[in-house]
Structure 1
Amino acid sequence: MRPDVRRWLRSRTFTAETWQAADLVTAKGTRGSTVSVVLPALDEERTVGAIVETIRRDLVEACPLVDEIVVVDSGSSDRTAEVAAAAGARVVSVDDVLPRHGSRPGKGEALWKSLHATTGELIVFVDSDLVDFDPRFVVGLLGPLLTDPTIGYVKALYDRPLTTTDGIVPSGGGRVTELVARPLLNAFWPELAGFVQPLSGEYAGRRELLEQVPFVSGYGVELGLLVDLVALAGLDALAQVDLGTRKHTHQADAALGRMAGQILQTALARWPGGGRPESELLQFLRTADGLESVTWDVGVVERPPMRAVRAADRRRGTWA
């Protein structure tokens, strides 16, 4: 293990139990901080309501750690928006945020636009497909940011149980992480090798940093943020927190392959000399008539840093 990674693991890896919500409220008041929780959502009516309700009950009403809960709906066809609003979130449609800039498909677009739709100095991102959500996820991610001003971005780490035909594999989730993201980081950005869950959908950061980096529109957003933020702020500005166990829905292997393709595109775009990689992914299905090929476009679109967008629009007088 590289000495810098070993040192970083010792000094920048925490556990959620280190902090209690009430103590962080005091730290938040001392620093004059504000906190926004963002849930990007697409057809998550089954889970989003329980997550919002838990955050509102435990971290807004019982203990005022969170100032706003915003669900960014990416065009759901189910009752995601209605369920989230009924649970206490402010729901915004991705198409209604910065409409002059249009909309792109993908989770990263919702995260990028959430920077404009929220007001908090600290922003916590939480995936909306979590099952048995625990409010300590938010508490744990905010802990380093509210107690150490040198830390600007915090990733979650956790076990991800995978349900199979043979039962539950306690840590079998995260197949794209182990097969794609971790080898890429170790090969090209070895200083980031200490991140246990580099693709985790739960993380928090200071607006000041998040608005200085681009956001990839698709599934490469998490890897892109890691690479860009370490280049911007340095390794010691990044940290990770052990949240225990994360339960969520799992996708089929073919869908994971498309996710992996977008992650690879994101990585190659950031590697000097990487050029413009082929964006088509060819997959195969076995049908009654034999093998059928399916072609997917896994190219990604990058949104520029929000700070640059805001400055350009203000010069034009179009910021809204």
Structure 2
Amino acid sequence: MRVSAEVGTWLTRRSSRAGDWWAAELVAAKRGTRVSVVIPARDEEETVGAIVGTIRRELVERFPLVDEILVVDSHSTDATAEVARAAGADVVAQDAVFPELESLTGKGEALWKGVAETTGDLIVFVDGDLRDFSADYVTGLLGPLLTDPAIAYVKGFYHRPLVGQAGTEPDGGGRVTELVARPLLNMYWPELAGFVQPLAGEYAGRREVLEGIPFVTHYGVEVGHLIDLLERHGLDALAQVDLGHRTHRHQGTQALGRMAAQIMLTLMDRLESGGRVISAAPPSTSLAQFRRGAGEGIDRELVLTDVAFTQRPPLESLPPEIRPENSSALRRTA
């Protein structure tokens, strides 16, 4: 009951709506604070231009709230980089940041390098596949950070419709959240039970906070953030904002299975590193799945995927000498 009461109190104090803040008011509250927006993108030429264009038009030109828009191109094979650049963003190839380090893949890798390559005191993360993006996403996430110095990290949540052949399910888009992340968080980190969408890709944080935590390189990055920040800064330093609706490209069931496996590996790692469980043997990272085959007989094809857990260390722990000369992170250190 104690945890339930704590979550209820937190929900009241630390939950808000994007409409609670106006861009003009946040500009006045900014008072010299530098704001960066990081957009990780892989093959998002259809959507990234509109996202960048909206931020530039509404929050750079109309209201001087955002100082920097960076798209991290994560091995795109389409015109993502060209479209983003034409819309007004700075664009960096994922592997061009810290070239001395081994190249890794995954969304978390792009986010980690986006933090390193920007200069903002506050950093807002926005996914590159949003189809109904509005400037409220950014102002909503920035509002708590600019108006309350006790808040270190803000998570977005929204209605996520799932559109299928049978129609639209208004809140059917968070399947991995409901089937994997939420049950496990409730079991082992009940303090985080108040987060409506712990896996949401829209969130913001203070630079010193983001540079102090590791980044899982794959889909475990968001849930890893929440656990690490809870342990380092406490629940009251975290907040969430209702951003309305989110429409984006939905992944197939097998892709969601791989995502779920990476999230579970992240949670198991945090349990073990926190001394809460001791594993007799490490879990297997080979995920066996089946897809429809092309031949006769048993019409299933076995597909094996390595969902191994990898992560980047806190940026603050990196020695300056490994950073590229033109890195904004190196300029800050100097």
TM range (shorter): over 0.9
CA contact (8 A) 1:103 1:109 kept: no
Of 286, 294, 315, which aligns to 1:306? Answer: 315
- Structure 2 residue identity aligned to 1:286: R
* Compared CA separation, residues 140 and 235, structure 1 to 2 (3 A): same
In the TM superposition, residue 4 of structure 1 has moved relative to its aligned partner by 0.8
What per-residue deviation string (whole Å, max 9, x for no partner) do you get for residues 241-264 of structure 1? 001100100000000000000000
Q: Report SS of the residue matched to 1:99.
A: coil
Equivalence for 1:27 = 29
* Compared CA separation, residues 87 and 227, structure 1 to 2 (3 A): same
In the TM superposition, residue 312 of structure 1 has moved relative to its aligned partner by 7.2
In the TM superposition, residue 102 of structure 1 has moved relative to its aligned partner by 2.5
Equivalence for 2:244 = 244
Runs of 4+ in structure 1 deviating by more than 6 angstroms, as ranges, are: none
- Structure 2 residue identity aligned to 1:63: F
Question: Using the alignment, how far apart are the partners of 1:73 and 1:214 within structure 2?
Answer: 21
* Compared CA separation, residues 274 and 48, structure 1 to 2 (3 A): farther
- Structure 1 residue identity aligned to 2:18: A
In the TM superposition, residue 310 of structure 1 has moved relative to its aligned partner by 3.9
- Structure 2 residue identity aligned to 1:307: E
- Structure 2 residue identity aligned to 1:12: R
What per-residue deviation string (whole Å, max 9, x for no partner) do you get for residues 54-93 of structure 1? 0000000000000000000011000000000000000000
| Bigger shift: residues 147-156 or 278-287 | 278-287
Equivalence for 2:8 = 6
Equivalence for 2:78 = 78
Question: Using the alignment, how far apart are the partners of 1:215 and 1:208 within structure 2?
Answer: 14
Q: Report SS of the residue matched to 1:248.
A: coil
* Compared CA separation, residues 242 and 139, structure 1 to 2 (3 A): same
What per-residue deviation string (whole Å, max 9, x for no partner) do you get for residues 4-31 of structure 1? 11111110001011000000000002xx
| Bigger shift: residues 286-295 or 187-196 | 286-295
CA contact (8 A) 2:98 2:322 kept: no
Question: Using the alignment, how far apart are the partners of 1:187 and 1:286 within structure 2?
Answer: 35
Could you list the runs of 5+ residues in structure 2 that have no partner in the other structure? none
Could you list the runs of 5+ residues in structure 1 that have no partner in the other structure? none
In the TM superposition, residue 170 of structure 1 has moved relative to its aligned partner by 1.0
Whether 1:112 and 2:112 are equivalent positions in the alignment is yes
What per-residue deviation string (whole Å, max 9, x for no partner) do you get for residues 201-241 of structure 1? 00000001000000000000000001001111000000000
What is the root-mean-square deviation of aligned Cα atoms in Å?
1.4
In the TM superposition, residue 295 of structure 1 has moved relative to its aligned partner by 0.7
Q: Report SS of the residue matched to 2:290.
A: strand
Of 277, 280, 286, which aligns to 2:286? Answer: 280
Question: Using the alignment, how far apart are the partners of 2:320 and 2:233 within structure 1?
Answer: 21
In the TM superposition, residue 300 of structure 1 has moved relative to its aligned partner by 2.0
Question: Using the alignment, how far apart are the partners of 2:30 and 2:212 within structure 1?
Answer: 23
What count of residue pairs does the alignment treat as equivalent?
A: 315
CA contact (8 A) 2:223 2:263 kept: yes
In the TM superposition, residue 291 of structure 1 has moved relative to its aligned partner by 1.7
Q: Give the share of equivalent positions with the same residue, in percent.
A: 60
Equivalence for 2:263 = 263
Equivalence for 2:158 = 158
Equivalence for 1:234 = 234
CA contact (8 A) 2:219 2:263 kept: yes
Whether 1:200 and 2:200 are equivalent positions in the alignment is yes
- Structure 1 residue identity aligned to 2:307: V
Q: Report SS of the residue matched to 1:129.
A: coil
TM-score (norm 2): 0.92
TM-score (norm 1): 0.96
Question: Using the alignment, how far apart are the partners of 1:279 and 1:76 within structure 2?
Answer: 26
In the TM superposition, residue 179 of structure 1 has moved relative to its aligned partner by 0.2
Equivalence for 1:218 = 218
